Structure 1
């Protein structure tokens, strides 16, 4: 029986203690400096970066052979990469379309947008659930339901649609007569 499986001396314990405390504090400082966008409601790109940061930090917590400087550098590079991609998204519409999924209208003016629902693996029950979650007992009260960039469903009730400028650009033409909208 190899005792190092259970105890390998104080060096790995001290290394883990220092790495956890210093790495956590460094990550906290870097996230505060990088601003709220890093931890905002997550788009798929944000999710990938968050998982990568968590994975990199988690790996270094128990790895004795990874120096603290390498841990901090890795975290800093991932946060800088996230910040640079956010900068590019804000300044280049083409990159924004490439990096982010646009909102998708899945219910509008009493009609389910079947093509969009199929493409995003949504069913009518999802729309009904979104309405109930918004405190509505009927789709009669719903003007639109939008699949947001973060994967959530936003419900806009009748009377709150206004001019529809944040909804109508996402109305797709299903090719059915009488359907509102235009192709994206």
Structure 2
């Protein structure tokens, strides 16, 4: 049997906007909770984290084998580590130079 050209079935097609909306809302909530620094004044490290967040979000949307909650839990450590590293870099010149 050949692969479908447009989509597999209606439930899989409807999953994308629903999971997309919920995962995006969860990401925005996490980013807002971690502070505005995460969204502004980007340096190279911030760019890498942003790309990693986008990659994780797209995987959550397009891979039906990943449940929404597991995907959100995959985003949380990235946002938390970004916050922690940013916090450290503001308070430590050594960490700031490394980043």
TM range (shorter): 0.7 to 0.9
SS at match of 1:71: helix
Q: Deviations over 1:58-91 (max 9, x none)?
A: 1221111111012111221111010010121122
**Deviation of the 1:5 alpha carbon:** 4.1
**TM-score for the superposition, normalised by structure 2:** 0.87
What are the Cα deviations for residues 109-130 of structure 1, in whole angstroms up to 9, with x where unaligned? xxxxxxxxxxxxxxxxxxxxxx
Counterparts in 2 of 1:4 and 1:31: CA distance versus 1, 3 Å: same
* C-alpha contact (below 8 Å) 2:26/2:72 kept by paired residues: yes
User: 1:44 and 1:10 mapped to 2: Cα distance?
Assistant: 40
1:35 matches 2:35 = yes
Give the Cα–Cα distance (whole angstroms) in 1 for the partners of residues 71 and 19 of structure 2: 8
Show the counterpart of 2:14: 14
Q: CA RMSD in A?
A: 1.6
Structure with more strand by fraction: 1
Name 1:71's counterpart in structure 2. 71
- TM-score w.r.t. length of structure 1: 0.50
Greater RCO (Cα-Cα under 8 Å, separation 6 or more): 2
* CA distance in 1 between partners of 2:32 and 2:65 (Å): 28
Answering whether residue 45 of structure 2 is matched by residue 45 of structure 1, we say yes
Alignment of 1:1-184 (within 5 A): 2=2, 4-99=4-99
5+ residue gaps in structure 2?
Answer: none
Q: Please state which structure has a larger fraction of its residues in helix.
A: 2
Q: Which protein is bigger by CA-based radius of gyration?
A: 1
8 Å contact 2:7–2:13 — kept in the other structure?
no
